[in-house]
Amino acid sequence: MSRKKIDEEKDESGSSEKLIVAQLSEKTLLATGIRVGTLIKTKDMEKFISKTRPDGLRIIDLEKILSRIDIAAKAIARSDIKRIVVCSAKEYGRTPVEMFCSLTGAIPITGRFMPGTFTNPLYPEHIDPELVIVADPVVDSRAIDEASKIGTPVIAICDTDNVTSNIDFVIPGNNRGRKSLATIFWLLTRSVLIHSGALTPDQQLKYSIEDFETKIVEESVK
């Protein structure tokens, strides 16, 4: 896979992103906070922002979120899924990544990314990925750096304050919220399964967004 291949998917996507939200109403989708960005806008992410709220928060264009999820899903579905690695060092990304990988067959790496995972063939847990997906380019910067060194393309979920250097394809969206991350990976999972033929567009994914959401474990009160 190369950056050129991912970009080519864009020309074929049309309005097919509508298929991946067949189970969701627009109200339900917006309630997840998927398009609510930060107060900061980088030059890299400016093209994905539709407006700024009175409180200063940037709002990401929902149509672009859905379109690029679908583009990424097409590229993923045409790759060797067993060589796709999905990373999230942040806690909120753990369950979404694990659910995506369990349903698609990709390789999850959650928590700390060990140095040499991609670059050191002598490392016992070494992986030679065809494609790397990260939940946050800041928190998952080590995975991006190693993927870049070996020439492996990277798909990243990027918020309005992210810089996209060494990222080959951006999925814009709120990558900070528990529910928004769960929603993005739910949508990506469903789209990958549709494009791989494991699910038809009119079939429902048997798991809900809540199933993709990392649960907060509350400390017991002493």
pLDDT for the residue 5: 56
pLDDT for the residue 28: 87
- Mean pLDDT across 25-47: 92
Give residue 20's pLDDT band: very low, low, confident or very high (50, 70, 90): low
Query: Class of the 3-196 domain?
Result: alpha beta
Q: How far is residue 59 from each of residues 50, 141, 143, 159, 170, measured CA to CA in Å? A: 6, 24, 27, 10, 16
pLDDT for the residue 7: 59
Give residue 13's pLDDT band: very low, low, confident or very high (50, 70, 90): very low
Q: How far is residue 153 from each of residues 46, 56, 112, 196, 207, measured CA to CA in Å? A: 22, 33, 20, 20, 29
Query: pLDDT tens digits, residue range 62-117?
Result: 999 999 999 999 999 999 999 999 999 999 999 999 999 999 999 999 999 999 99
Q: Round the average pLDDT of the chain to a whole number and report it.
A: 90
pLDDT of residue 161 exceeding 70: yes
Helix (H, G, I), strand (E, B) or coil at 54: coil
pLDDT for the residue 11: 43
- Mean pLDDT across 148-172: 97
Neighbour count for residue 16 (Cβ, 10 Å): 18
Contact 183, 64 (CB under 8 A): no
Domain boundaries, the chain: 3-196
Q: Each residue of 194-205: b (16+ CB within 10 Å) or e? A: bbbeebeeeeeb
Neighbour count for residue 43 (Cβ, 10 Å): 8
